[in-house]
A and B are shown apart, each in its own frame.
Chain A
């Protein structure tokens, strides 16, 4: 665990401070909103922020000296006496040691034998994510459960999906960061492969905490499994807390829309939700755009029977080449090759600061910039 001093956050101009109207942009066609003659984009260009498609080349991210977000400093309770002296707070970042410093865990069972020395060492490093090396963290993450589950996903990663990835140098070594990726496939194997890839290609090894839909949190067994392997239900409080803890988050801003898009829309990104940009600004966290290629081919949806889905309370009632013809087995993904590309990180917080999170128009704009970058990464890499 790394000690980090908290200091006052600096303020930077927001869209509102630029004299631009805030709000009202939510729900519009985001691409239409990004027309070249958009005066908002022009003002951002004047300020030096790239309003184009490609992300601005950033110098390597300096280690954030004060990662504590504004949201972590709650407003005083109405009844609180104002003369109470504030207690200086030291926040610990959940961090793992460098791979070379990790003691190789002993082989305990056949599951460990499936893995190589490198993988076992990486899993051993994840135990440091839990404070005091307790069996569970406060979200239910269990390093032991992750050790038991990892060989299965490792086999999927190496043998079934034959994942290739590039751009790992764009994942920050420590501190809060957000991986924003496209979503695809009926079952969320993209999240699983993303988490596996991050564990295998970062040093110190990092665990990407995937933000999952609340619906998944209410599914028997699934909710327990997700929690034990480090995934969290996507609430603002959870997100902010984990970023405050210096964790790496993996989000799919398309949400369920990405998973249920038809085969005709494959690799066309759906509208993004913007909460991840708000959280990134508040937590001063970089956003790394990530493109998953192969996910939209694993279970091509020919048709979505929406009335049936509504009646059954499911997010999607798909017709695929194999489902429902082969029963539940038809939901399994095809053995397509995955490719994961990490783009250069956006450091929006440097220009806009935590206050920018309150400007809905700015947040929408920044989310669209991330979206366009991911789309470009997909188009380049396919």
Chain B
């Protein structure tokens, strides 16, 4: 029986992780924490005299609130032994935030969560979600990447990618820790029912126009949010530590993914890409932006998930595709295979 703290439980992936863990009989108490108010979908889990789920509002980018959480009586009473760190997804979709919003916070949060996990004796397991966009992408339309593939340590890497690499390195450094079992799950573009897409730097933010280099349409590996939650669940319950790629079986070109998720992907000649993005921003076309201008816009990748399959017993079980919604519109959906 594991008692789990889930960070950023108010964000979509965090919510999905909490729901999946809640229905697992091998999981005891769940302490969910997030920046905002408790999600309405948690209401039924929070009801009752002694609910298995508790929710706390915590700003994970600040030392004091995190410290107070890990030293709180509720944390001790719940006998939390596992922490699931769901990173900040970036700027909330509903807000017109700057492109790099949340990036510094994401790195700070990773550092603080790891530090407190190391300092708290009762915590024996740390499962962190990372991004698969940390890999260096050599030229090519699709590259099969495994966990040992080279990371993109180019100093000119876009800030969005840089923040993911920083987080990755923070957790990577403790993978061999004897006391704390650290599992880092690298996930590609996460797709959720209803046309939502997360953790893809090219499609981050609210729906709108996106720029991509003319003549390139990289393939994007996809994974369902439900599969991500299942992978987290498997990692919590396993006894393995290390880095694992987690991905579904589907991959689609960036332009198709943009169309499926209600975004328009506009091809621009490569040398003009940065100017076009800057010009659009200066003219106030906030949705008309390209979150990154790196190799991720040119070269795609897929992930070798055999290690997760072998060690964690994880295999994706949700298919991703277009389905006609109740209002007649075609939306991206996930369905059990």
Task: Please list the residues of chain A having a beta carbon within 8 angstroms of any beta carbon in chain B.
Answer: 72-74, 76-81, 83-84, 86-87, 89, 131-132, 134-140, 214-215, 217-221, 223-224, 226-227, 232-233, 235, 237-238, 240-241
Whether the pair B310, A89 counts as a contact (CB closer than 8 A) is yes
Partner of B144, one of A136, A226, A241: A241
B253 in contact (CB, < 8 A) = yes
Query: Whole-angstrom distance between the alpha carbons of A74 and B146 in the complex?
Result: 9
B208 in contact (CB, < 8 A) = no
Partner of B270, one of A87, A217, A220: A220
Can you sample 18 A-B contacts with CB below 8 Å? A72-B306, A77-B240, A79-B175, A80-B311, A84-B240, A89-B306, A89-B310, A132-B249, A136-B219, A136-B251, A138-B142, A138-B251, A139-B141, A139-B302, A214-B138, A233-B141, A235-B138, A237-B143
Whether the pair B219, A227 counts as a contact (CB closer than 8 A) is yes
Residues A131 and B249 in contact in the complex (CB < 8 Å), given A89-B309, A237-B304, A241-B144: yes
Query: Whole-angstrom distance between the alpha carbons of A238 and B319 in the complex?
Result: 23
How many residues from B make CB contacts under 8 Å with A? 50
B231 in contact (CB, < 8 A) = no
Partner of A84, one of B243, B298, B311: B311
Query: Whole-angstrom distance between the alpha carbons of A253 and B121 in the complex?
Result: 57
Whether the pair B143, A235 counts as a contact (CB closer than 8 A) is yes
Whether the pair B219, A215 counts as a contact (CB closer than 8 A) is no
B217 in contact (CB, < 8 A) = yes
Nearest chain-B residue to A76 (Cβ)?
B311
Contacts of B176 in A (CB 8 A): 78-79
Query: Whole-angstrom distance between the alpha carbons of A86 and B249 in the complex?
Result: 21
Whether the pair A136, B249 counts as a contact (CB closer than 8 A) is no
Nearest chain-A residue to B248 (Cβ)?
A138
Q: Shortest Cβ distance from B221 into chain A, in angstroms?
A: 7
Q: Which 4 A-B pairs have the closest CB atoms?
A: A220-B215, A233-B140, A77-B242, A218-B139
Contacting residues of chain B (139-163) with chain A, CB-CB under 8 angstroms? 139-149
Q: Mark B198-221, 1 if CB is under 8 A from A, else 0.
A: 000000000000000111110101
Interface of A is mostly: loop
Residues A87 and B221 in contact in the complex (CB < 8 Å), given A79-B242, A139-B141: no
Whether the pair B252, A136 counts as a contact (CB closer than 8 A) is yes
Q: Shortest Cβ distance from B60 into chain A, in angstroms?
A: 24
Whether the pair B139, A233 counts as a contact (CB closer than 8 A) is yes
Partner of B241, one of A81, A131, A136, A218: A81
B300 in contact (CB, < 8 A) = yes
Partner of B242, one of A80, A139, A223, A226: A80
Query: Whole-angstrom distance between the alpha carbons of A238 and B137 in the complex?
Result: 13
Interface of B is mostly: loop
B299 in contact (CB, < 8 A) = yes
Nearest chain-B residue to A240 (Cβ)?
B144
Query: Whole-angstrom distance between the alpha carbons of A347 and B298 in the complex?
Result: 38
Query: Whole-angstrom distance between the alpha carbons of A232 and B243 in the complex?
Result: 27
Query: Whole-angstrom distance between the alpha carbons of A223 and B295 in the complex?
Result: 14
Q: Shortest Cβ distance from B254 into chain A, in angstroms?
A: 10
Contacts of A138 in B (CB 8 A): 142, 144, 219, 221, 249-251, 302
Contacts of B311 in A (CB 8 A): 76-77, 80, 84, 87
Residue of A89, A139, A240 with most chain B CB atoms under a 10 A cut-off: A139
Contacts of B252 in A (CB 8 A): 135-136
Contacts of B146 in A (CB 8 A): 74, 237
Query: Whole-angstrom distance between the alpha carbons of A224 and B249 in the complex?
Result: 20
9 new A-B contacts, CB < 8 A, other than A136-B251, A223-B141, are A76-B311, A77-B175, A134-B250, A136-B250, A136-B252, A140-B141, A224-B217, A224-B253, A241-B144
Q: Shortest Cβ distance from A155 into chain B, in angstroms?
A: 25
Whether the pair B142, A139 counts as a contact (CB closer than 8 A) is yes
Query: Whole-angstrom distance between the alpha carbons of A224 and B215 in the complex?
Result: 7
Whether the pair B241, A140 counts as a contact (CB closer than 8 A) is no
Contacts of A214 in B (CB 8 A): 138-140
Whether the pair B142, A87 counts as a contact (CB closer than 8 A) is no
Query: Whole-angstrom distance between the alpha carbons of A124 and B23 in the complex?
Result: 43
Q: Shortest Cβ distance from A186 into chain B, in angstroms?
A: 21
Contacts of B298 in A (CB 8 A): 218
Q: Shortest Cβ distance from A288 into chain B, in angstroms?
A: 24
Q: Shortest Cβ distance from A323 into chain B, in angstroms?
A: 23
Whether the pair A83, B145 counts as a contact (CB closer than 8 A) is no
Contacting residues of chain B (151-182) with chain A, CB-CB under 8 angstroms? 175-176, 182
Partner of A232, one of B142, B213, B270: B142
Contacts of A139 in B (CB 8 A): 141-142, 219, 251, 302
Contacts of B319 in A (CB 8 A): 132
Query: Whole-angstrom distance between the alpha carbons of A137 and B249 in the complex?
Result: 8
Q: Shortest Cβ distance from A85 into chain B, in angstroms?
A: 8
Contacts of A221 in B (CB 8 A): 215
Whether the pair B182, A79 counts as a contact (CB closer than 8 A) is yes
Q: Shortest Cβ distance from B313 into chain A, in angstroms?
A: 5
Query: Whole-angstrom distance between the alpha carbons of A325 and B250 in the complex?
Result: 47
Contacts of B321 in A (CB 8 A): 134
Residues A83 and B239 in contact in the complex (CB < 8 Å), given A78-B175, A140-B219, A220-B216: yes
B274 in contact (CB, < 8 A) = no
Query: Whole-angstrom distance between the alpha carbons of A240 and B252 in the complex?
Result: 21
Q: Mark B240-271, 1 if CB is under 8 A from A, else 0.
A: 11111000011111001000000000000010
Partner of B216, one of A223, A226, A233: A223
Contacts of B2 in A (CB 8 A): none
Partner of A238, one of B139, B142, B244, B250: B142
Contacts of A220 in B (CB 8 A): 213-216, 270
B115 in contact (CB, < 8 A) = no
